Structure 1
Amino acid sequence: MYGSSIAIVIAAKNEEKYIEKCITSITEQNYPQELVKIIVCDGKSTDRTPDIVKAISGVSPNVELLINEREAAPFAFNLGIRHSNTNYLMILGAHAELKPNYLTDAISFLEAHPEISCLGGILDNVYENEASKAIGTAMSLPFGVGNAHFRTGAQEGFVDTVAFGIYKREIFEAIGVFDEELIRNQDDEFNYRLTKWGGKIYLLPALQSRYFVRASFKKLFRQYYQYGYWKVFVNKKHKIVTSVRQLFPPMFVLFLVSLPVMLLLGTWFLYFYLAILCLYLLIASWFAAKSANSFKNFSNIFLSFLCLHVGYGAGYLVGLYDVLLLGKSPVQNAKMKTLTR
């Protein structure tokens, strides 16, 4: 097990609040540090992020800082991939911290199961305020994010995607690197190509990382709006809907804006509309109430559901119009290129 090397690629931009703890969680792993390479690809930060990384690299020689001139995440990932020659590669977010035995357990499991191409664990959310607590709770519930098992903590097994995946080196040689056209959804698209190629992605809940949840409903809405918009572009590139769960939010938003049509069609259609709307509100309220510890927390969780569903659905519908009907690329849309973190 201790003969396998791993490179951990971290895409960062203006992460002075989190980057040191993220790197420290790797340097303090109980896996031999001589087999671990930490590559921070900085997207031209304007804060102290590069200085912090340089200071750490002076103490830990396996930490390296690279400048991501193109700034976006897929360029950072590919920069790190091409700059390493390890047996395994891990893509890690700067907002995350690994539990001390993460690498030992992960590589041990991969070595014991050579049929697995990519391995991931679950996110243990860390909340910075009431808003982030509600957002994290909503994103850990099936009603909030569907069958995104790495968020919901579902049972161990094969899945279609994971967060912070650890990949075998040969995977990139077989199917290529991350799609640099995708400012969003690049990891989902890569994992789709991986499974289409015949690779297997495995979720091991024993692997846990702490993740600091965003604390803004506005940013959450914008993030999921972008996810929905870019998902259309991914579908167009592959000429297929890559997962069924992505269709529910746009269908919900279409339903919400159909009220004028229902009014024109008559009373019974209006009753049908109100019945479906009440059903959604009841289900959302039930999930929120089940997880809330106060009325304020309940309200915030409920609002988080709306940000997730309406944000993604609205972005998806606008993407259908722009990308499919008008033939535009998201790259041409400045708002879709600006990240929300």
Structure 2
Amino acid sequence: MAVRNEERHIELVLSSLLQQKTTGWDIEIIVVDGDSTDATGDIVKRVASYDSRVKLITNKHRKTPYAFNLGIEKARGEYICILGAHTRYANNYIATCLDELKLHGVAGCSGRVIVRPGGDSLQARLIAWTLSHPFGTSSGSMRTRASGFADSIPYPLFLKSTVVSVGGYDTALHRNQDNDLNQRLRAQGHKLYITDKTCCEYFVSKDLLSLARYAYKTGYWNIISVKMNPASMSMRHFVPGAFVLALSLSMLVAGYSIMTHAQSWMSLPLILLVALYSLVCVTASWHTAWRERSLEPLLMPLSLFLLHAVYGAGTLSAILGNARSPSSH
């Protein structure tokens, strides 16, 4: 489990892992800390002092793929789990993923992801609803994906030798390293599976500013990722960028038509794009409001637009700046 400055979540996550049901096998929990400046390390050390299954090692590089590779190297088991610190796991998560991996003859298996708010505020709830809705992150996202064979799996259990055989995680990818690894596994003929027999709860950003930071960095790194391994990315990763580009161009055309008194039809693309996007946003928010029996989700168009616009801006910024991984220079 790669962590950095996770004092708010780390004890809850460790508790859920230490309560995992194990039958005929042992578990070790390797927490790879990227030089946290908060109390994360102290909390892990305290837990490890009364449960020897927990181990703490330091990742001086501070980047996620380095942490995963370091954990894989240190892991003694035949099987490994790549887990997140913002997630609470059902007590049958690892055992069920192991059983399903063997049953379906796959290289990796994970459970379903249930999105939870990262706090008690309205902003946190809006973010959770946005990221768990197919219009927010697509039906292929780890937060909305159905069970069955998949191209990429969240919080997976792998056969360790299989991951090692494809070279582990690409340390030049500070994001999307999971998509890259999963694609390389599939390219070698391996299959991946998501089971609905177990699940984990993923706690998302607690405020809209954090969501914006996440969206921009993700959109930005999508361009770097597609340059490094085109097959690891799909069209859905670039829809927000196309949306922002179309919106920007249609606004320029509409503005030009107004300033020059040109044909009125030149404003039509902007009107149609805004109307269609607004209609889908409102439909998604009403659907969520009905499900939650609350009027709060009717504010979702704000968080949906923020996610899509900032995500898309990150993608366009990376294209204009010819972005490359700092690790690949």
1:268 aligns with 2:260: no
Structure 2 CA distance for aligned equivalents of residues 150 and 329 of structure 1: 25
1:109 aligns with 2:100: yes
| Distance in 2 of aligned mates of 1:203 and 1:163 | 8
Whole-angstrom distance in 1 between the partners of 2:232 and 2:272: 29
> Cα deviations across residues 211-233 of structure 1 (Å, max 9, x unaligned)?
22211111111111111111111
Letter in 2 for 1:277: V
| Aligned amino acid, residue 108 of structure 2 | C
Report the AA paired with residue 193 of structure 2. Answer: Y
| Residue 302 (structure 1) aligns with | 301
SS at match of 1:211: strand
Q: Give the 5 Å matches for 1:156-167.
A: 156-167=147-158
Q: Which residue of 2 aligns with 1:320?
A: 319
Aligned equivalents of 1:34, 1:195: Cα separation in 2: 28
Query: Helix, strand or coil for the counterpart of 2:143?
Result: helix
TM-score (norm 1): 0.87
Report matched runs for 1:55-70 at 5 Å.
55-70=46-61
- Residue 126 of structure 1 is matched in structure 2 by 116
Superposition RMSD in Å: 2.0
The alignment partner of 1:35 has SS state of coil
- Name whichever of 170-179 and 145-154 sits farther off: 145-154
Q: Per-residue deviation at 1:83?
A: 0.7
Whole-angstrom CA distance in 1 between matches of 2:306 and 2:196: 27
For 2:123, the aligned partner's letter is A
Question: Match for residue 182 of structure 2?
Answer: 191
Indicate yes or no: 2:237 matched with 1:237. no
Contact kept, 8 Å, 1:140 with 1:153, in 2: the verdict is no
Q: Displacement, 1:80?
A: 0.2
Q: Secondary structure at the match of 1:210?
A: strand
Task: Tell me the secondary structure at the aligned position of residue 309 of structure 1.
Answer: helix
Code of the aligned partner of 1:184: R
**Equivalences, count:** 317
Who is 2:138 aligned against? 146
- TM-score normalized with structure 2 length: 0.90
Q: Deviations over 1:265-301 (max 9, x none)?
A: 63223113201210111111110121024444321x2
- In 1: Cα distance, 2:8 partner to 2:231 partner: 39
Q: Give the partner amino acid of 2:226.
A: N
Amino acid at match of 2:100: F
In the other structure, the counterpart of 2:260 is none
Instruction: After TM superposition, give the deviation of residue 305 of structure 1 in Å.
Output: 1.1
Shift in alpha-carbon separation, 1:173–1:248, aligned structure 2, 3 A: same
Return closer, same or farther for 1:96/1:239 CA change in 2, 3 Å cut-off: closer
Residues 5-154 of structure 1: matches in 2 within 5 Å? 10-32=1-23, 35-114=26-105, 116-127=106-117, 128-129=119-120, 130-152=122-144, 154=146
String of CA shifts for 1:85-138, please: whole Å, max 9, x gaps.
311111111111111111221111112222x11111222223222211111111
Tell me the percent identity.
31
- Which shows bigger deviation, 130-139 or 24-33? 24-33
Q: 1:149 to 1:241 in 2, by over 3 A?
A: closer
Are the structure 2 counterparts of residues 33 and 241 from structure 1 closer, same or farther at C-alpha, using a change threshold of 3 Å? closer
CA distance in 2, matches of 1:302, 1:212: 21
Runs (5+) with no aligned partner, structure 1: 1-9, 333-341
Q: Which runs of 4+ in 1 moved over 3 A?
A: 262-266, 293-297
Match of 1:30, SS? coil
1:240 Cα deviation from its structure 2 partner: 5.2
Report deviation, 1:139.
1.1
CA distance in 1, matches of 2:230, 2:58: 34
| CA distance in structure 1 between the partners assigned to 2:86 and 2:177 by the alignment | 18
1:281 aligns with 2:271: no
